[in-house]
Amino acid sequence: MTDVSTLPSLTDAPAVTLAGAPVHTADADPAWWRHAVIYQIYPRSWADANGDGIGDLPGITARLPYLRDLGVDAIWLSPFYTSPQADAGYDVANYRDIDPLFGTLADADTMIARAHELGLKVIVDLVPNHSSDEHEWFQAALAAGPGSPERSRYLFRDGQGEHGELPPNNWDSVFGGPAWTRTTNADGTPGQWYLHLFDPKQPDFDWTHPEVRTEFEDILRFWLDRGVDGFRVDVAHGLVKEDGLPDWAEAQALLGNTDDANPEARTEDGARAPMWDQDGVHEVYEQWRTILTSYNPVGEQHDPQADRILCAEAWVTPQERAVRYVRDTEMHQAFNFDYLQAAWLAPQIREVVESSFAANDSVGAPTTWVLSNHDVVRHASRLGLPVGTRRPNGIGIGDPQPDADLGLQRARAATALMLALPGSSYLYQGEELGLPDSTDMPDHHRQDPSWERSGRTERGRDGCRVPMPWVADAPSLGFGPSDQTWLPQPASYAALAVDQQDGVEGSTLELYRALLTTRRDRALGTGSLTWVEGWPEQVVAFAVTPSDGGERTLVLANLGEHPVALPEGAQPLLSSGPLGPDGTVPTDTTVWARW
Ligand code: NOJ
């Protein structure tokens, strides 16, 4: 954090005004998840206790105090279940056990208990759209053959064409290539096809099957009984497919990565993609909500700090449609991918902030905010690309490289803006260090299935999944006791290691700590938000007023070309980068001030 206590008084203060009514009014509901900051741990890459080069649960447990000190409220862990790791654990073979790579169920219990001791909630990842092809149900389905009850839990179909040699429909998979794979019968002849919206090793369940529903209800209870505080629900918009699986000629996007393919878009005549956002998914979440509520019943005994929650990963547009997942009978939160995808342009940011509040407020849900996760290029790299660049699905050797300094400066400003927004925010491991993506990883290291499935046209997500640097001068930068890491760490990570930033004024780690402490002290997460006007168009400025009517915070992010001054009476609390000698806010800098 920049020391702002010695700044000279401001000159040329502009005349600014609150722009009418708040765009979001203060939230008096005390439930923890309505304003929580949730830190995503990618278990493969956070901390490796046994030195095999892959992170694990004991590694996570040992490092949890770091997160308590960072000041987050909760952790969300990407999958750690038994899995052949064809999609880094999003291909689950056993939903009730831990993959030996990550540890044991006892390690999970220890991790959950330690997190709770430290005051951190624990959210685990639930992957209900598909299992691994190595799941016992899928293996039984293959063995049992066409027409069997075992096959009816997945989406097996006969092929088209004279000999069934063509896929049952024309759907593409999200990772590239067809969404259907043909099976081989016991006698070696070609058999039926099965649907996989992602990799062939991730067969889709048939959610019209009652056993699939009861199985997942039971899985929810299994983890709730172990004490988890909630679930992040993978591909929440994909479970139910349109009856008859009709053809859909539109290209699939890689997790919303391309401009020319948007899986949620309607066609010109208004048709909705038959594999996404079907109305039938909502019944599933209504049922899940009743299960979660049974762990903290509504009524006099209800403890708002003990709520168990569901968060939807649903790449659904428009937002009016997306917030159907967070009606008060369904999930508690949904990721705000519109926010993640907004360009570094003030009008676009204002627009998405407003539309997010309008949509979520209309159903009484907290708005969430996110800039990075394990599926997208880290924002410190994304924001170092020229504004208006298509959001890439991975960056590699030979691709246009981001401007690292610019990216980091903008990333710090973007985070300072985000963490002042009322609602709940998600952070992705390592962003508190300002980590860039690994953008020059040799391609032979790549493990994301989308690299091969796209015919090596999409580099995929490995660049944001590289193991964390903890200690500059240690094997694997302190990730584990050996020098092994499942993906190579870029040279730039050493200088960004935790030990290089801890206690260092102006470091990104200290900025995040200050943002999180100040956010809490000034109750920004539950405040009301009113735009403040009077600066050039490329300035995003708003005031947050706490729900108890306490002191107002002015937040100003300058995305324009010239420095701008703060209004009279504004006293800077922190800033994402150094302020000008006259107290002005330079380009690509965000300031929080008492006002
Ligand atoms: C979304 C997850 O975030 C991503 O990592 C995964 O590949 C797909 N869902 C498929 O499970």
pLDDT digits (tens, 9 = 90+) for 162-207: 999 999 999 999 998 999 999 999 999 999 999 999 999 999 999 9
Higher pLDDT, 298 or 58: 58
Residue 11's pLDDT is 53
Q: What is the DSSP string of 109-173?
A: HHHHHHHHHTT-EEEEEE--SB--TTSHHHHHHHHH-TT-TTGGGBTEE--BSTTS-B-SS-PBP
How many angstroms separate the CA atoms of 26 and 423, rounded?
Answer: 10
Q: pLDDT above 70 covers what percent of the chain?
A: 95
Ligand 1 center from residue 255 Cα (angstroms): 8
**Is the predicted pLDDT of residue 445 greater than 50, yes or no?**
yes
Q: List strands edge to edge, sheet with 589-594.
A: 17-18, 528-533, 539-545, 553-558, 589-594, 571-575
Summarize pLDDT for 307-362 with one digit per residue, the tens: 999 999 999 988 999 999 999 999 999 999 999 999 999 999 999 999 999 999 99
Residue 10's pLDDT is 46
Cβ of 198 closer than 6 Å to ligand 1, yes or no, is yes
Closest CA to 314 of 282, 276, 284: 276
Q: H/E element holding 592?
A: strand 589-594
Closest CA to 359 of 303, 317, 402: 317
Instruction: Compute the mean pLDDT over every residue in the chain, rounded to the nearest whole number.
Output: 94
How many angstroms separate the CA atoms of 575 and 19, rounded?
Answer: 23
**Contact by Cβ (8 Å): 47, 95:** no
Summarize pLDDT for 446-462 with one digit per residue, the tens: 999 999 999 999 999 99
Ligand 1 center from residue 220 Cα (angstroms): 19
Q: What is the mean pLDDT of residues 205-213?
A: 98
**Is the predicted pLDDT of residue 255 greater than 60, yes or no?**
no
- Kindly indicate the confidence band of residue 268, based on its pLDDT and cuts at 50, 70 and 90: low
pTM: 0.96
Q: What is the mean pLDDT of residues 1-24?
A: 68
- Kindly indicate the confidence band of residue 477, based on its pLDDT and cuts at 50, 70 and 90: very high
HSE-up of 534 (CA within 13 Å, CB side)?
Answer: 17
Tell me which of 85, 90, 91 to substitute to probe ligand 1's pocket, judged by most ligand atoms within 8 Å of the beta carbon: 90
Cβ of 233 closer than 6 Å to ligand 1, yes or no, is no
**Is the predicted pLDDT of residue 254 greater than 80, yes or no?**
no
Q: Provide the residue type at 589 as one letter.
A: T
Lowest average pLDDT, out of 14-23, 50-59, 247-256, 492-501, goes to 247-256
Summarize pLDDT for 366-423 with one digit per residue, the tens: 999 999 999 999 999 999 999 988 889 999 999 999 999 999 999 999 999 999 999 9
Other CB atoms within a 10 A radius of the CB of residue 296 amount to: 16
Q: Which atom of ligand 1 is nearest to the CA of 87?
A: 7
Cβ of 448 closer than 6 Å to ligand 1, yes or no, is no
Summarize pLDDT for 424-444 with one digit per residue, the tens: 999 999 999 999 999 999 999
Ligand 1 center from residue 4 Cα (angstroms): 42
Summarize pLDDT for 496-547 with one digit per residue, the tens: 999 999 999 999 999 999 999 999 999 999 999 999 999 999 999 999 999 8
- Kindly indicate the confidence band of residue 577, based on its pLDDT and cuts at 50, 70 and 90: very high
Q: What is the mean pLDDT of residues 256-279?
A: 65
Residue 256's pLDDT is 53
Residue 417's pLDDT is 98
Residue 547's pLDDT is 87
Atom 2 of ligand 1: nearest residue by CA position: 234
Closest CA to 171 of 163, 179, 159: 179
Strand-pair partners of 540: 557
Cβ of 370 closer than 6 Å to ligand 1, yes or no, is no
Cβ of 559 closer than 6 Å to ligand 1, yes or no, is no
Residue 544's pLDDT is 97
Cβ of 122 closer than 6 Å to ligand 1, yes or no, is no
Ligand 1 center from residue 304 Cα (angstroms): 30
**Contact by Cβ (8 Å): 178, 194:** no
Distance of CA 336 to the CA centre of its chain: 9
Q: Which atom of ligand 1 is nearest to the CA of 91?
A: 11
**DSSP, res 472:** T
Ligand 1 center from residue 174 Cα (angstroms): 10
- Kindly indicate the confidence band of residue 261, based on its pLDDT and cuts at 50, 70 and 90: very low
Residue 15's pLDDT is 85
Q: Which residues are catalytic?
A: 234, 313
**Is the predicted pLDDT of residue 24 greater than 70, yes or no?**
yes
**Is the predicted pLDDT of residue 565 greater than 60, yes or no?**
yes
Q: What is the mean pLDDT of residues 210-228?
A: 98
Cβ of 441 closer than 6 Å to ligand 1, yes or no, is no
